[in-house]
A and B are shown apart, each in its own frame.
Chain A
């Protein structure tokens, strides 16, 4: 048996809920598959939450619902006290691929969300902020470089800036670094931690890697498949700021083992 993982720990900078999902279910009408069943989830201000589960556990469905891309069949989805009924400016999203557009320079890519929502003039005004963000992610001097000339990690850094430019209340991260090699991935995860802390960001990460989830998160939502539902919410009581060295500590190993055994149970069903 693992050591009890429930304990009093407030990794979050505050307890104010930012994103609340209650009793959210999603049934795809076409083949009447229940993708999500009764999901309750609260993201608190400044917290980092990861979601992990085998494929088919409904995590991408959940993410799409949270991004306002698809409506839930049942349940309440509330971000900053307003129900989510579609894509919103206060939701930032990042994908596995950087998805930078090759005809735009780095800085033009970053202000694209502003350009789409407020037009070209507003985008121009946001340029300065985009420069600051590039500076923050360590891409100073790459403002007018085209994405073709950026490495995978650099492109993902730029896409972090694009996500942050609208100052979203919540960051939805869909396996953002899984296309990178392991070394860059570890480095980018540490960068992500730093950026989230600097921005006081509330983040929600979809991942396949238990280690990645544990090193980054305050809370890990473990999902079970068919129908997709929450198996357990694991609190991570590792001290912050986290470093890669933490990965060798016994506590880290315990939490990883615990989550792995949860996931294995899920597989057996």
Chain B
């Protein structure tokens, strides 16, 4: 009986002693925006030093300040509706049409491959075979077949973006678990009902993963097409600037172009958040 208070006292002492704070390394405790600014400043600083000391020829690497000046020039041209905006609009059209085409073809093939035994046995091997080829190498063919207009770029862009969508759709359709299949069977669901009401919604996360990879590919396809097949798009502006050794212009054009790619990616991601609202895990990057 008498040790009760002592015990209590011991407990409080122990409680005081055992309070410990998990240590977080200083570098991990820095707020995100400060960390990002820091990395940016270091990057620009290094760039500036390298050009200032002329470690690299100014023709190859412009100073950051030249690049900023050029970005302002290109930006004002874009905002005032100049020739650069017209070029950008052509590229955006190629990307949109290419992506739409890739979604239509990729989704259809994905359903064929993922839903039918015929597709899996007879079509999938060919798709895998084509997918392993360096698809950019097909660019001259598309130019030869479809000419120097927008069509050849749209085709190449769609060609590159189709495969991840096929794979994503097929994998998505396979992702329904045994119980869900059994349940739909016991409910007497037709194949079409099972596909539309169960397999497709179940597979949406994978389908969107395919779409996001496709969105990155479609941009690369359009620009590659413009590099190799001419035309009046943004890629052509980059090519011309590069041939004139106007490296600041090349840099700033690439930066603006990457905004288009980023916008497309974000649109897909936003759509995913709206459509696959039940998917709570990180929707960022290429989720696995």
**Do B186 and A96 have beta carbons less than 8 Å apart?**
no
A144 to B185, CA, bound (A): 26
Once A99-B179, A101-B198, A103-B201 are accepted as A-B contacts, the answer to whether A116 and B278 lie under 8 Å apart by CB is: no
A115 to B190, CA, bound (A): 12
Contacts of B182 in A (CB 8 A): 69, 93, 95
| Residue of B187, B276, B278 touching A113 (CB-CB under 8 A) | B187
| Residue of A87, A96, A97, A146 touching B187 (CB-CB under 8 A) | A87
Once A116-B193, A116-B197, A146-B278 are accepted as A-B contacts, the answer to whether A99 and B183 lie under 8 Å apart by CB is: yes
Contacts of B188 in A (CB 8 A): 86-89, 116-117
Residue B184, interface by CB 8 Å = yes
Flag B171-183 by CB within 8 Å of A: 1 or 0 each: 0000001011011
**Do A93 and B186 have beta carbons less than 8 Å apart?**
yes
How big is the A interface, by class? 20 to 34
**Do A117 and B187 have beta carbons less than 8 Å apart?**
yes
- Tell me the residues in window 172-210 of chain A with beta carbons closer than 8 Å to chain B beta carbons: none
Flag A118-143 by CB within 8 Å of B: 1 or 0 each: 00000000000000000000000000
A-B contact count (CB 8 A): 51
- Tell me the residues in window 141-186 of chain B with beta carbons closer than 8 Å to chain A beta carbons: 177, 179-180, 182-186
| Residue of A87, A101, A102, A103 touching B185 (CB-CB under 8 A) | A87
Residue A91, interface by CB 8 Å = yes
Flag B184-209 by CB within 8 Å of A: 1 or 0 each: 11111100010001100110000000
**Do B280 and A148 have beta carbons less than 8 Å apart?**
yes
Q: Could you tell me the distance in whole angstroms from the C-beta of A168 to the nearest C-beta in chain B?
A: 10
A96 to B179, CA, bound (A): 8
Q: Could you tell me the distance in whole angstroms from the C-beta of B26 to the nearest C-beta in chain A?
A: 37
**Do A99 and B186 have beta carbons less than 8 Å apart?**
no
**Do B184 and A116 have beta carbons less than 8 Å apart?**
yes
How big is the B interface, by class? 20 to 34
**Do A103 and B187 have beta carbons less than 8 Å apart?**
no
A107 to B280, CA, bound (A): 21
Contacts of A67 in B (CB 8 A): 186
A68 to B182, CA, bound (A): 11
A113 to B187, CA, bound (A): 6
The CB with the most chain A CB atoms within 10 A, among B179, B186, B187, B277, is that of B186
**Do B187 and A112 have beta carbons less than 8 Å apart?**
yes
Contacts of A97 in B (CB 8 A): 177, 179
Contacts of A116 in B (CB 8 A): 184, 187-189, 193, 197
Contacts of A88 in B (CB 8 A): 188
Contacts of B202 in A (CB 8 A): 101
Contacts of B198 in A (CB 8 A): 101
What residue of chain B has the Cβ atom nearest to residue A114's Cβ? Answer: B187
Contacts of A99 in B (CB 8 A): 177, 179-180, 183
A54 to B180, CA, bound (A): 25
A99 to B177, CA, bound (A): 9
A259 to B202, CA, bound (A): 41
Q: Could you tell me the distance in whole angstroms from the C-beta of B280 to the nearest C-beta in chain A?
A: 7
| Residue of B185, B189, B201 touching A69 (CB-CB under 8 A) | B185
- Tell me the residues in window 64-93 of chain A with beta carbons closer than 8 Å to chain B beta carbons: 67-69, 86-89, 91, 93
- Tell me the residues in window 243-288 of chain B with beta carbons closer than 8 Å to chain A beta carbons: 276-278, 280
**Do A87 and B179 have beta carbons less than 8 Å apart?**
no
Contacts of A147 in B (CB 8 A): 278
A238 to B205, CA, bound (A): 50
A165 to B281, CA, bound (A): 32
Contacts of B187 in A (CB 8 A): 87, 112-113, 116-117
Q: Could you tell me the distance in whole angstroms from the C-beta of A53 to the nearest C-beta in chain B?
A: 20
**Do B179 and A95 have beta carbons less than 8 Å apart?**
yes
Once A95-B179, A99-B183 are accepted as A-B contacts, the answer to whether A148 and B189 lie under 8 Å apart by CB is: no
A116 to B185, CA, bound (A): 10
A146 to B184, CA, bound (A): 19
A162 to B63, CA, bound (A): 67
**Do B179 and A102 have beta carbons less than 8 Å apart?**
no
**Do B183 and A69 have beta carbons less than 8 Å apart?**
no
A148 to B179, CA, bound (A): 17
Can you give 15 contacting A-B residue pairs, CB < 8 Å? A67-B186, A69-B185, A86-B188, A87-B185, A89-B188, A91-B186, A93-B183, A93-B186, A95-B179, A99-B177, A101-B180, A101-B198, A103-B276, A116-B189, A116-B193
What is A's interface to B at a CB cutoff of 8 Å? 67-69, 86-89, 91, 93, 95-97, 99, 101-103, 112-113, 115-117, 146-148
Q: Which 4 A-B pairs have the closest CB atoms?
A: A102-B278, A99-B179, A87-B188, A116-B187
7 more A-B contacts (CB under 8 A) besides A99-B180, A116-B187? A69-B185, A69-B186, A87-B186, A91-B186, A99-B179, A101-B201, A116-B189
